[in-house]
Amino acid sequence: MSTQDVLDKQQISAYLKDLPHWREVPGAISAVYQSTTAAQSIELLSEIAGAAELDQHHPDVDWRYNKIFVTTTSHDAGGRVTTRDIALAAKISERAEALGISAQPELIGVVEIAIDTADRKAIGAQWAAGLGYKEASDGSLVDPNHRLPSIWFQETSTPNPNRLHVDFWVPHSASGAVLDALKGAGAELDGESAPSFTVATDSQGNRFCVCTEQDR
C-alpha cells in the first residue's frame, strides 16, 4: 500500500461530498441502510460481501433485522481512511440504490469510553489485559474483533473526579437532535468546543460528550 492512499481530513470531506450515504467517524467512514424486509437486508449483505471480495478490502458489517450498519477503514494503514475505503463505499452505495434500499445517515453513531489520566502508560496495559484489547497507533485501545467500544486516554494533569465518560460520535448533521434531546432530559450542556464536541453533564455529575467530525 502506498502512503499516498491515506487520506487527510480535507480529502475525506471532499470525497464524501460525492458519497451522501457516508459520514466520517473516528478512523473510518460509516453508512446505515434500511430496507423494508430482513430478506432485502440479506440481499444487500450479500452484495457488500461480493464487492469486498472483489476489492479484497473488507468492511465491518452489522445486520440488525432490516438495517445494515457498515464501517470501512484500512487496518493495514493504522486504522485510517484510504482511497480503497472510498472506492468500496461507492460500490456499496451503488448496490444499495440498485436494490431500492435507502440510506439513514442519522442512525450513524460510534461509542467510545474515555478515561482521564495523568499517566496513560501506567494504566493502559491493565485495561488491555482485562478486556483483551490491543493498542492502536494513536495509543487508544481497540477490540481486535471490532465489536466493542474503543477506549482512549485523555491525558491531563487535573483528572476529573469522575474519570470515565462516554463519547458518542454522530454526524454533525444529526448532532442537533441529540443535543436537543439531552437538553430536554435536563442535562447541562457546555458547547465551548462545539461543533467538535459538546460536554453534557447529568444531574449526578456524570459526563457525556457528543462528538462530530467538524473542526477536527
Write out pLDDT tens, residues 173-203: 999 999 999 999 999 999 999 999 999 999 9
Q: Give the best-scoring range by mean pLDDT among 79-83, 86-90, 117-121, 155-159.
A: 86-90
Does residue 15 share a domain with residue 32? yes
In a domain, 192, yes or no: yes
Q: Tell me, what's the pLDDT at 18?
A: 97
Q: Tell me, what's the pLDDT at 163?
A: 92
Does residue 182 share a domain with residue 161? yes
Does residue 150 share a domain with residue 103? no
Collapsed DSSP state (helix, strand, coil) of residue 58: coil
Report whether pLDDT(1) > 50: no
Distance CA 185, CA 40 (A): 36
- CATH (domain of 83): 3.30.1360.20
* Threshold 0.85, pTM exceeds: yes
Does residue 92 share a domain with residue 130? no
Q: Tell me, what's the pLDDT at 195?
A: 95
Does residue 100 share a domain with residue 180? no
Q: Which one of 54, 78, 107 terminates a domain?
A: 107
In a domain, 216, yes or no: no
Does residue 187 share a domain with residue 135? yes
The string of pLDDT tens digits covering residues 125-153 is 999 999 999 998 888 999 999 899 999 99
Sign of the torsion formed by the C-alpha atoms of 43, 26, 73 and 129:
negative
Q: Which one of 68, 85, 107 terminates a domain?
A: 107
Hey, what's the cell of 6?
A: 491515506
Does residue 87 share a domain with residue 51? yes
Does residue 101 share a domain with residue 195? no
Does residue 166 share a domain with residue 153? yes
Q: How many CA atoms lie within 13 A of 79 on its CB side?
A: 17
User: In the chain, how many domains are there?
Assistant: 2
**How crowded is residue 190: how many other Cβ atoms within 10 Å of its Cβ?**
13
Distance CA 63, CA 177 (A): 25
- CATH (domain of 184): 3.10.180.10
Q: Which residue type, as a one-letter code, is found at position 122?
A: A
The residue range of the domain holding 40 is: 3-107
In a domain, 49, yes or no: yes
Does residue 132 share a domain with residue 51? no
Q: Tell me, what's the pLDDT at 4?
A: 59
Does residue 119 share a domain with residue 101? no
Sign of the torsion formed by the C-alpha atoms of 42, 43, 48 and 50:
positive
Query: For the chain, what percent of residues have pLDDT higher than 90?
Result: 88
